[in-house]
């Protein structure tokens, strides 16, 4: 690429600065502006040497090694779009991606990390989120990240090394956590869950906090000294690649054809329908949703106690509660 390399570096720096300004306006890290320094310091383009952009009928590949200089510039600018970037496809299905930066910022702020915290990330992806955590904590050894396949963790480890970070990268089923590096003060998942894996709770230190996408929402749990975890959903919606392995998602919910016309177009109703999957018929879920005043995500929560995991509306011990898988 010759002299174009310096131009490409300048393009990436300009695009990164624009992304930082955009997230500033979005207010994602207003509660903890130190994360701004991490996003400014970790170059996202080093973690996405190629990615796929959806086009009519499929995906278009953008890459750092594009022989066309204009193509390489398009790759560098696109690496800093405030959008998820597809990084691995299997038979046309998305199996790994780099998450939307502003959503990553909201999740990291919600994690409430402190100096010295040991953090487990479930869903390594490109390694970018692990790098942000390592940058913030200032000690790579405090961060452990796990993903299912060598085809994901191998490139992620290389991306991390190129960017100058060396967290612990493990290939394994994230539903079981990583007991060898426990206990954890914080756990963050970057894949969609159908429930809260019990091994995560067992690997947490008292007072630990867990941020995980569940049912297209972000769940914030606090773990007490007895091994009980409880918390509510945040206002922010979240759409991630599903967790694979032992904690994979169950089948789709039952037919909703018998419901009133536009019921399933209401996001708050779809959220409830996902929570009660298999525990409540859609018609009964609709009646509850309507009578409860069409509740938003923040009125729902999840409790893990012993072998039981259940979701609830308003009160963990109230009348509206449903078992999770």
Active site residues: 96
DSSP classification of residue 32: -
Listed in sequence order, the residues at least 6 apart from 262 whose beta carbon sits closer than 8 Å to its beta carbon are none
Query: Rounded CA gap, 239 and 258, in Å?
Result: 27
Distance CA 128, CA 224 (A): 30
Strand, coil or helix: what is 258?
Answer: coil
Question: In this structure, what are the phi and psi dihedrals at residue 281, rounded to the nearest 5 degrees?
Answer: -65, 145
Q: Quick check: 195 and 221 in contact, CB under 8 A?
A: no
C-beta neighbour count of 243 within 10 angstroms: 26
Closest CA to 307 of 198, 207, 179: 198
| Structural contact between residues 293 and 284, judged by C-beta atoms closer than 8 angstroms | no
Nearest Cα to 225, choosing from 208, 211, 244? 208
Nearest to 145 by CA among 120, 125, 165: 120
DSSP state letter for 193? B
Look-up of token digits 């018609």: 283
**Phi, psi at 165, each rounded to 5°:** -125, 150
């Amino acid at each position: 690429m010759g002299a174009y390399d310096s131009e490409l570096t300048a393009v990436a720096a300009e695009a990164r600065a624009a992304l930082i300004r955009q997230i500033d306006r979005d207010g994602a890290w207003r509660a903890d502006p130190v994360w701004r320094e991490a996003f400014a310091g970790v170059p996202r383009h080093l973690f996405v040497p190629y990615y796929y952009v959806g086009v009519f009928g499929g995906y278009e590949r953008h890459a750092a090694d594009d022989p066309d200089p204009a193509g390489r510039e398009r790759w560098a600018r696109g690496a800093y779009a405030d959008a998820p970037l597809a990084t691995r496809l299997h038979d046309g299905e998305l199996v790994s991606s780099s998450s939307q930066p502003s959503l990553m910022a909201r999740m990291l702020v919600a994690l409430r990390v402190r100096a010295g915290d040991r953090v487990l990330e479930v869903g390594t992806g490109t390694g970018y989120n692990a790098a942000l955590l390592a940058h913030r904590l200032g000690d790579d050894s405090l961060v452990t990240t796990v993903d299912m396949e060598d085809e994901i963790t191998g490139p992620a480890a290389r991306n991390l090394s190129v960017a100058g970070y060396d967290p612990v990268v493990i290939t394994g089923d994230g539903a079981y956590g990583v007991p060898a590096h426990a206990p954890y003060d914080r756990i963050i998942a970057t894949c969609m869950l159908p429930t809260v894996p019990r091994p995560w709770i067992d690997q947490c230190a008292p007072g630990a906090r867990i941020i995980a996408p569940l049912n297209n929402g972000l769940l914030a749990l606090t773990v007490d000294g007895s091994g009980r975890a409880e918390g509510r959903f945040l206002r922010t919606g979240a759409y991630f690649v599903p967790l694979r392995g032992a904690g994979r998602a169950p089948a789709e919910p039952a037919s909703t054809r018998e419901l009133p016309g536009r019921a399933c177009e209401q996001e708050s109703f779809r959220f409830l329908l996902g929570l009660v999957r298999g525990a409540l018929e859609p018609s009964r879920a609709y009646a509850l949703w309507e009578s409860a005043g069409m509740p938003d995500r923040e009125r729902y929560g999840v409790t893990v106690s012993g072998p039981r995991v259940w979701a609830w509306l308003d009160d963990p011990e109230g009348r509206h509660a449903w078992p999770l898988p």
